[in-house]
A and B are shown apart, each in its own frame.
Chain A
Amino acid sequence: MKKLIVFLLLLAVLQFPLTLLNPFGPTIFPVAPILNKNVTGNVDLTVEFWKNLDDVIAKVATKYAKFVVLPITTAANLYTKGIDIKLVGVHEWKVFYLVSNTDFKGLKSLKGKTVYSAHGRGQTVDVLLRYLLTKEGLIPDKDVKFAYAPPQEIVALFNSGKISFAALPEPFVTMCLSKGKIVLDFQEEWNKISNSKLGIPIAGLFVIGDISKYKNTILEVEKIFKESVSYANTHVDESLEITSKYLPIPKPILKKSLERTQFKYVSDCKDEVSKFLETMHNLYKEGIPKIPDEGFYLK
């Protein structure tokens, strides 16, 4: 009887295609196998891209789709503002680096310098870097100045020699490497702080809205998503080909950047994520005003 119900539920699931909202960016790579139908399952999963925060907030708030890939910090803020989403698993663990085109001998050498980072105050790298500087006995904003700009602009400034230090996510790091080198791996630093081995929980898969009716669907989508991530990792060139169909980033750069970006699906990562969010909240309240409660985690 139970099997029959499960079967019927699965049938019900099969009736309508499910949408997965995925960021438009390098995170296309881990879902490329789904886009290309290399990986399929018992549900018909279609991928749609979201281009910016407004776009995804509108779609998540109106329950336009059932599944969404989001940065963990953004998702936490959406959740604490009353949006009904739950974390299924994290798949992006490595992406942030500090690049420099001058002599760098540890964080101490940033004294009196300006570090450029993407977007604005409260970004993951911004918070981490400030914390690391404080541990070194430097006062952020006083000993080390911070400036924020769109990442594309930072790359242009860095490559023209106008600035010396940039804390960026991939693939922008790779775009700076003709003129500079990586001097700090933020993931390693985070692992030291948190005693984690995985790196920074950067982005993951979330389910939107009421989940009680969809237990099996969620499991099925998770299975496809997980397979897709590992397929992309084992068939790099093929998935790269598909990714560059959508992304206007030169393929060689994307390929190089993937060496420093880690996609690995981890379903059991509640401890890592909650520790990360707690730390970020304690370091900079405005960036994550409230820590999500148990309801944020599916498992």
Chain B
Amino acid sequence: MKFAYGLVLFLIIWYFLALVINSSLILPTPLEVGRIFITLIFSKSIWNSIYSTLLKGFIALFFTLLLGFIFGFVMGICEKCFELLRPIFTISQSVPIISWLVLVIFIWGIGITGPIIITVLSLIPNVTFSVAHGVRNTDKKLLEMAQIYNVSKKKIIKDIYFGSVIPFLLSALEVVSGNLWKVIIVSEYLAGKEGIGVQISWARQYVNIPKVYALTIIAVILGISTERAIKFLTKKVILYDIKD
């Protein structure tokens, strides 16, 4: 309910700003954007774009988590690996998307792969470092105890390490989900064949600014719903942990 009040406040501010600026080419009113948004939702082509963006987003998310988890775990357990790999991820985190562009287009052309690769490269450091910190923060006393009682390697990894990694992984996931669609859409804008980012790029070109805002609303909806879904999952996982 509070969220709805916040939304109303946001719309009021937007409307007021649009009235002050008084140019639909700079900031259209929420009404104008709403109208275009409705017509967009009922057009077939937009659903292809949404589908394309969703597909890229989930593939990118899957690889980010998988690879981030593997690298992070290795870096957490082995001190040498951590020192060796850290610069690579630190650099990868701060490279602007535009700089990957030539390389990515050169290797994969214009299509679905480029934006996915760019997104994974931009988001993976976050996950990797979170997992690595989780592993390094594992309770040493627990590990000693496990060794004294001859607990199997498998059990140590599964119960002790994973147990301490999960909270870190979940917080990384929240950060990643917030940035995921932003990065995907920007990379589509620059190197995509289809998707919401490509639609935004074309709408801008025809000076159809209200459409740019309407497409942005779709991106915002994607962002908010993913974040909510992940929060929901997080709660489930933590509850499950406690039950255990």
Partner of B105 from the list A77, A82, A149 (CB cut-off 8 Å) is A149
Partner of A57 from the list B26, B102, B191, B202 (CB cut-off 8 Å) is B26
* Distance of A131 Cα from B202 Cα, bound (Å): 19
**Residue of chain A at shortest CB distance from B207:** A77
**Which chain B positions have C-beta within 8 A of A148?**
110, 198
**Residue of chain B at shortest CB distance from A62:** B23
**Which chain A positions have C-beta within 8 A of B106?**
156-157, 160, 162
* Distance of A62 Cα from B27 Cα, bound (Å): 12
**Which chain A positions have C-beta within 8 A of B207?**
53, 57, 74, 77-78, 81
**Which chain B positions have C-beta within 8 A of A77?**
206-208
Cβ contacts A to B, 9 pairs, < 8 Å: A61-B25, A61-B26, A62-B23, A82-B24, A119-B205, A122-B206, A148-B198, A149-B110, A289-B206
Q: Kindly state whether residue A147 has any CB partner on chain B within 8 Å.
A: yes
* Distance of A250 Cα from B24 Cα, bound (Å): 39
Closest approach, in angstroms, between the C-beta of A123 and any C-beta of chain B? 7
Q: Kindly state whether residue B201 has any CB partner on chain A within 8 Å.
A: yes
Mask: chain B, 166-209; 1 = CB below 8 Å from A; 0 = not: 00000000000000000000000011010000100110111111
Chain A residues within CB distance 8 Å of chain B? 53, 57-58, 61-62, 74, 77-78, 81-83, 116, 119-123, 147-150, 153, 156-157, 160, 162, 286-289
Q: Knowing A148-B110, A150-B190, say if A123 contacts B105 (CB, 8 Å).
A: no
Instruction: Classify the secondary structure of B's interface with A.
Output: helix
**Which chain B positions have C-beta within 8 A of A123?**
205
**Residue of chain A at shortest CB distance from B107:** A162
Total A-B pairs in contact (CB under 8 Å)?
66
Ranked nearest first, the 6 interchain pairs of A and B with the lowest CB-CB distance are: A77-B207, A147-B110, A61-B23, A120-B202, A61-B25, A156-B102
Chain B residues within CB distance 8 Å of chain A? 23-26, 101-102, 105-106, 109-110, 190-191, 193, 198, 201-202, 204-209
**Which chain A positions have C-beta within 8 A of B204?**
53
Q: Knowing A74-B207, A150-B190, A162-B106, say if A81 contacts B25 (CB, 8 Å).
A: yes
Partner of A147 from the list B109, B208, B209 (CB cut-off 8 Å) is B109
Q: Knowing A119-B205, A120-B201, A156-B106, say if A149 contacts B191 (CB, 8 Å).
A: yes
Q: Is the CB of A57 within 8 A of B209?
A: yes
* Distance of A286 Cα from B207 Cα, bound (Å): 11
Closest approach, in angstroms, between the C-beta of A270 and any C-beta of chain B? 22
| A81-B24, A122-B205, A149-B105 known, 4 other contacts, Cβ within 8 Å | A120-B201, A120-B202, A149-B110, A153-B105
